[in-house]
Structure 1
Amino acid sequence: MIIAPAEPHDVTKLLAFREDAAAWLRKLGSDQWSRPYPADKLLATIQSGTVFMLRDGHTTAATITLTPDAEDGLWTDAELAEPSMFVNKLTVDREYAGQNIGGRLLDWAGDRAHRAGAKWVRLDAWTTNEGLQQYYLRQGFGHVRTVREGVAVNGGPRVSGWLAQRAARPADHGFTDRTPTPARLRFAA
């Protein structure tokens, strides 16, 4: 499998991934991702070079967003002073479920973050999705805290405030990596 930067034409696939994941989550009793995601915001993240696609031949197996930018209101100033990268929108096509694709993508993210000079890979997960939280704990993330107050970046109520992190480190994720070398993070000492 090959991991590569998303391209503008991938917006349609990414929106479909999100809709499929939301439908699957609804069956599990979760309201996660029930609000439509604006295509223009998704395109902007693609154009910023932070969205990556995992391809298995001509099929897209998964996607992950890895960015040096934290969502407002989640992390403390002291935490933001530490070099970190943030995982968002990790989605695996249901056809690839049960193959540890998500775990390997988290390893890839940790490896890329390490190469960029990050100390941490951080994420926020849906506050009421305990199954997802347990998944991240099994992947070696440690729960930092849960933020319930405030407003999310999209203007809605904060629903994704379960914060977790693990050390950024080299990893053998097993993917053919066709992503550009990550830019070194810049942080004040």
Structure 2
Amino acid sequence: MYVMRPATAHDRAAYADLIRARAAWMLRTGKVGGVDLLEDGRAEQIAAQAGNGHTPVWVLLSPEGESIGFTSLYDQTPAWGWTDGERAEPALFLATTFTHPDYRAAKPGTLMAWWALAHAARAGKLWVRRGCGHLGLVRYYRDHQGFDLIHETERGGHPAYLLARKAEELDHLPVTTASAGTFT
């Protein structure tokens, strides 16, 4: 069974290592964005969000207890790109997802996204929303995770694609939720 739990400051080193491993894999396989992640201190800067009290970072643990994915799950839909009406609907916003390339066969990104759908449904939310900056990710989120493209916009001079999926419990999801205090 996989476990999702809130990330703590103790997870920062593992998070930074995972980001660097992902970036190196992206470079080897010709994926966009890997170079940016390998810039000086970028992995540590992102990883510092774990347990900082401001960013709701979650970690996915393999059945063996390895950190194989990290994502942030916000209680609010961001203002950029969404209508006031959409932002008024109860939703969680999934952002900054990284998975370890050595665990690709387990589909940790999909496990985290589907866990977020169930987590949102249990919390009384109607939607899980997410954004990304690459059409390849849009296709993956749509075709493999069931998200719909809702808006295309611009953020910081770059294209931004906003997606959503109705929150729902998923049968036979091999992921459980634990509190941060469960793992010290």
TM-score (norm 1): 0.78
The residue type paired with residue 140 of structure 1 is G
Question: Displacement, 1:166?
Answer: 0.5
Shift of the 43–99 alpha-carbon distance from structure 1 to 2, 3 Å rule, reads closer
The answer to whether the 8 A contact 2:150-2:162 is kept is yes
The answer to whether the 8 A contact 1:67-1:86 is kept is yes
For residues 16 and 176 of structure 2, the distance between their equivalents in structure 1, rounded to whole angstroms, comes to 24
The answer to whether the 8 A contact 1:6-1:49 is kept is no
For residues 61 and 41 of structure 1, the distance between their equivalents in structure 2, rounded to whole angstroms, comes to 17
Shift of the 75–32 alpha-carbon distance from structure 1 to 2, 3 Å rule, reads farther
- 1:162 aligned residue: 161
Alignment of 1:1-189 (within 5 A): 1-27=2-28, 28-31=30-33, 34=36, 36=42, 38=45, 42-43=49-50, 46-48=52-54, 50-56=56-62, 57-126=64-133, 129-138=134-143, 139-148=145-154, 150=155, 157-159=156-158, 161-172=160-171, 173-179=173-179
- 1:153 aligned residue: none
Question: Displacement, 1:74?
Answer: 2.2
Shift of the 133–39 alpha-carbon distance from structure 1 to 2, 3 Å rule, reads closer
The answer to whether the 8 A contact 1:7-1:47 is kept is no
Q: Secondary structure of the equivalent of 1:109?
A: helix
Task: Could you tell me which runs of 5 or more consecutive residues in structure 2 were left unpaired when the two chains were aligned.
Answer: none
The answer to whether the 8 A contact 1:8-1:47 is kept is no
Shift of the 65–33 alpha-carbon distance from structure 1 to 2, 3 Å rule, reads farther
Identity %: 24
Question: Displacement, 1:64?
Answer: 1.9
Question: Displacement, 1:94?
Answer: 0.8
The residue type paired with residue 100 of structure 2 is D
Question: Displacement, 1:125?
Answer: 0.8
Q: Secondary structure of the equivalent of 2:36?
A: coil
Q: Secondary structure of the equivalent of 2:105?
A: coil
Shift of the 158–41 alpha-carbon distance from structure 1 to 2, 3 Å rule, reads farther
Q: Secondary structure of the equivalent of 1:98?
A: helix
Question: Displacement, 1:114?
Answer: 0.9
Task: Could you tell me which runs of 5 or more consecutive residues in structure 1 were left unpaired when the two chains were aligned.
Answer: 151-156, 181-189
For residues 143 and 15 of structure 1, the distance between their equivalents in structure 2, rounded to whole angstroms, comes to 30
Normalized per residue, the structure richer in helix is: 2
TM-score (norm 2): 0.80
Shift of the 160–96 alpha-carbon distance from structure 1 to 2, 3 Å rule, reads farther
Give the stretch that moved more between structures: 55-64 or 32-41.
Answer: 32-41
